[in-house]
Amino acid sequence: MHRRMKILVFTRDEALEMLNASEKSIVTTVIPALNDLIKQTKGKSDLASSVTFSSLKEKDDSKIFQRLLKVVEKYLKIFPQLRQKFEEELPDTISGNTNNMNVRIALSLLSEGIFFAENLPGVLSYIINKYYSKSGTELDPNITREIGHRVILLSNIIPELEKADLGKVVDVIGNIPTIRSLRYEETSEIPTDVVMGFFKDNFKISDFYTSTLIKRFLGYFEFKKEHKKHNDIAKRFIGNPIYHIRLFLIDIDLLKLERLKEKKRLLELRLLELQGKNDPKIKKQIEYYEDKLNKLELKIEKLTHMD
């Protein structure tokens, strides 16, 4: 039986804490790991020749990690501006089902940071194991399957995030009128063309990729329609921002920090394995941390879907 999730409600301070924690994880874990991978995979083509990453049209694996690094660094550049918007424009209490477009865009950008901070360590560990060390994994099959989906998602969103102007998206937060002022009197919803026309006229946002990003953030994205204009866009994106935020808020002072720590340690071990250090002790440690992650993910899954 499918259970409906409760509406997520959290404070602006919690949102800022998530933003700061995401920034710290990206700076201390994700970026150093990507720099290591760029060095370690130079001249390799295991990833570039795979079906998953073939759309990036690269011949050297290190080029893929370089592009991912640039996307992550591009996101990091908006952190100071985004933090200021959270402090000045977001209400004290935030509801996950808000109709306020300013808040929805802010939460989507926060979710993007959480995706990089929370998912990339696991995704990179998965990639190292599957394409390079090939030493197997003790992670639960359901977890491995979900990470595999995130790898596909990552390969799809790299080109889009390379082209979208994230700074312009942050600029609009706090400057969008309420739904009531945009809505036609005779309708209960705002037509998409009215909303996107507003962004074009008021913020000079007209390029396809930035407009598409905003449509995704606001829930106006229609893949078939957009795909006719540009066939290199992804059907799936980072997804429902509330899902990522909900996971991040679960026992925020305990489970979240523990999971980040275990993912970081596992990635460090996988990088050692990639360097050719096939020490049985490293293999044992990998198994140990994967077992811990299995138990943590199971606990978080139960808490996330509680009534």
Q: Residue 177 CA to chain centroid, in angstroms?
A: 27
Tell me how far apart the alpha carbons of residues 67 and 159 are, in angstroms, rounded to a whole number: 9
Question: Are 174 and 85 contacting, i.e. CB atoms less than 8 angstroms apart?
Answer: yes
Per-residue pLDDT of the chain (307 residues; tens, 9 = 90+): 334 446 778 888 888 988 998 999 999 999 999 999 999 999 999 999 999 999 899 999 999 999 999 999 999 999 999 999 999 998 898 887 777 888 888 988 998 888 898 889 999 999 999 999 988 889 899 889 989 988 988 888 898 889 999 999 999 998 887 655 444 444 445 566 667 777 888 788 888 888 878 878 777 655 555 555 665 555 555 555 565 666 566 544 456 667 778 899 999 999 999 987 678 889 999 999 999 888 887 776 665 554 3
pTM above threshold 0.85: no
Tell me how far apart the alpha carbons of residues 74 and 170 are, in angstroms, rounded to a whole number: 13
- Number of helices (H) and strands (E), helices first, in the chain? 15, 2
CA neighbor of 7 nearest in space, from 140, 113, 98 = 98
